[in-house]
Amino acid sequence: MAYASDLVPRQKAAILMVLLGREYSSKVYKCLSQEEIEQLTLAITNLDRIDSELSDRVLEEFHDITLAQKYVTEGGIEYARDVLVAAVGAEQADALLSRLTASLQVRPFDFVRRADSAQVFNFIQNEHPQTIALVLSYLDTPRAALILGSLPRDMQAQVIKRIAKMGIVSPDYIREAERVLERKFGNVGYTANVAVGGLDTIVDILNSVDRGTETFILSSIEQEDPDLAEEIHNKLFVFEDLIKLTDLSLQKVLKEVDNDVLTIALKNASEQINAKIFKNISKRLQETIDENMKFMGPVRVRDVEAAQQKIVNVVRRLEDAGVIDVARGGREDEIIV
């Protein structure tokens, strides 16, 4: 009979997928990379008969990992140990945490994420822009935006630029940055290389700050790195965001868009976007677009994306001109007239 301790992690994951059933396993699959899906599928196909005792042990280990991760997320390693000691005793708690260390994946600066935003700002405002960028990359978007907006103007652009170009950060640098803040927040260890920052992080943060802060930061970055500024600018409002426009705002945008550009942009648009746009154009234009699409034939993806970007550019231009206003901070009325 096989024991859970005899299995490699991939085999345990395969058994867990079988035990979860098709519905829940499919949801897990959606969160995996292509390589992980291939490895897990191969492990499932190589499974032998799973006896009930082995199944119970795999589920128990999964439960322990999930429980420990919950405790770590809520309050860190020490908090997790305190809870586990109360539940199963010191010896077993230490053994469990030791066994699950590789699975817990404690993120760097966990102690910072649990601190008050004002505290975080006070502690990091005088740090090097690279250190501030690293810390903000691990905070949730609203808090990162709040802290970024509180920094001096010249510091904001430096921090944003460093986040955009951060990429993979070595464990040594992370540990050093944590050591600098250790006296203020606590001590957290971490060993795995991680990818942080990047354009998506920048877009999330800038979409949450006020328009004045966004404009200043983009203007500052544009002076030093025009290409980076353009990349960020193009991502701040994407074609799919048209669904958030009020009807009146969308009508103002569409008046500035050439009909041929609109037709190409709608070539692979979602049903929601099509319905939203068709609702705000004349019946005659609807018929024209439908007819043109029927005779258009295949269109290159890059041409569709270029047409969609032209519409996005119109949105940004009208916003800059004050014709429409793009609200910030994730409010329900994302875009208002």
- Name the token pair of 133: 């960028």
Residues 6+ apart with CB under 8 A from 272: 243
Residue 179 near residue 212 (C-beta atoms within 8 A)? no
The domains of the chain are located at: 4-104, 110-217, 237-336
d(CA 139, CA 281): 42
Q: Which fold does the domain 110-217 belong to in CATH?
A: Annexin V; domain 1 (1.10.220)
Q: Looking at this protein, which amino acid is placed at residue 29?
A: Y
d(CA 72, CA 214): 35
DSSP-derived 3-state class of residue 102? helix
pLDDT of residue 282: 92
Measured between its terminal Cα atoms, the distance across the chain in Å is 69
d(CA 39, CA 227): 38
Residue 307 near residue 261 (C-beta atoms within 8 A)? yes
d(CA 104, CA 28): 18
237-336 has which CATH code? 1.10.220.30
- The pTM of the full predicted model, rounded to 2 decimals, is 0.40
Choose among 308, 321, 313: nearest CA to 262: 308
pLDDT tens track, the chain, 337 positions: 344 456 777 888 888 888 887 777 777 877 777 667 767 777 777 776 777 888 888 888 787 767 766 666 566 666 777 777 787 778 777 766 665 554 444 556 666 666 667 777 877 888 888 888 888 887 777 788 888 888 888 888 888 888 887 766 666 677 677 766 765 554 433 333 444 556 766 776 776 666 666 677 778 778 878 888 777 777 777 788 888 888 898 999 999 999 999 999 998 888 899 999 999 999 999 999 988 888 877 888 888 888 888 898 888 888 878 888 765 444 443 433 3
